Amino acid sequence: MRRINIGLLGCGTVGRGFVDLLARERERIRGRDGVDIAVRRILVRDADKPRPGINPSLLSTAALDILDDGCDIIVELVGGVHSAGAFVRRALANGKHVVTANKALLADSGRELFASAERNRVRIGFEASVCGGIPIVRALRLGLAGDRIESISGILNGTCNYILTRMEQDDLEFDGALRLAKERGFAEADSALDVGGEDAAQKLRILGELAFGPQHVNMRVHGIGDVTHAEIEQARARRCVVRHVATARQVGGGIEMRVERRELPEFHPLAGIRDENNAVVIRGRAVGELMFQGKGAGSLPTAAAVLSDVIEIAACSTMTP
């Protein structure tokens, strides 16, 4: 049986979730897929910090030790663009496959990184970069590869959706709903990228390039920071709901992308998506309209998406036993 060694960069919420999920599912994966996946090294900031259930000998504060070590797949979960980008570039140059949940890095440098992966005959898995546990990347990359995609629309940010849902159902103003989202773990302490729309825009850019290919993008982004409860109530009076919606469609020689709050009729497919949940509606010329929905964030849903990429690469690669 082939053994696949993982170099894990980052052991935060998602990284720890990945370690725990792999430990739980390792034997099942061995029996079903015929590969033994094991974490060989873990990059952390503080190797002395207690991490129950993790062998301290796996921990390292030196990224190059992991990137140049005998790891087959590098799982990048440190986030950000600069350090993460340097790690991923080094891994690809060293002939290692990469799995990442880093939407910001892919939105910023995706074309360059995929070109590097092709040159070095390795793969990049990025299912976890958009909508956590919803397999939307795989659907566009594989399941719908034979169809012409006409449009994508979706609720791509769980923080915004949670805030709007609480404003609607709990009669809260924006600040109160944001505070509640932070208290319940659905918003970061600094939520500017979420409520400003940039997080959803990064995810939309990834989906748009998968669906339509590399083209000029006309992007317009508007957040929800100025939404009022009065606006929510006015929509309700018209039997509508307010949702933060991302859309992408082919227009002429480019892609038109919009991230903005919209008033949706109660019967609209996205109107019923509440709280931290995400959803994506894809319209294809042959298949018609398809909808994907589920948990868009959280340590285990995101870790499951990371692990699915690891399994796919491990099972399909030409690594020797």
**Residues identified as active-site:** 203
Distances (CA, A) of 192 to 196, 197, 245, 272: 5, 8, 17, 25
State how far the Cα of 159 lies from the Cα of 253, in Å rounded to an integer: 33
Please, is 140 exposed, middle or buried when counting C-beta atoms within 10 Å of its C-beta (0-12, 13-18, 19+)? buried
Which 3 state secondary structure label does DSSP give 239?
Answer: coil
* Under 8 Å between Cβ of 179 and 317: no
Sign of CA dihedral 82, 83, 84, 85: positive
Which 3 state secondary structure label does DSSP give 51?
Answer: coil
Which 3 state secondary structure label does DSSP give 298?
Answer: coil
* Under 8 Å between Cβ of 104 and 202: yes
For the chain, count helices (H), then strands (E): 11, 12
State how far the Cα of 319 lies from the Cα of 321, in Å rounded to an integer: 7
State how far the Cα of 122 lies from the Cα of 53, in Å rounded to an integer: 31
Query: Hey, what's the torsion of the CAs at 110, 115, 120, 124, to 10 degrees?
Result: 30
State how far the Cα of 167 lies from the Cα of 178, in Å rounded to an integer: 9
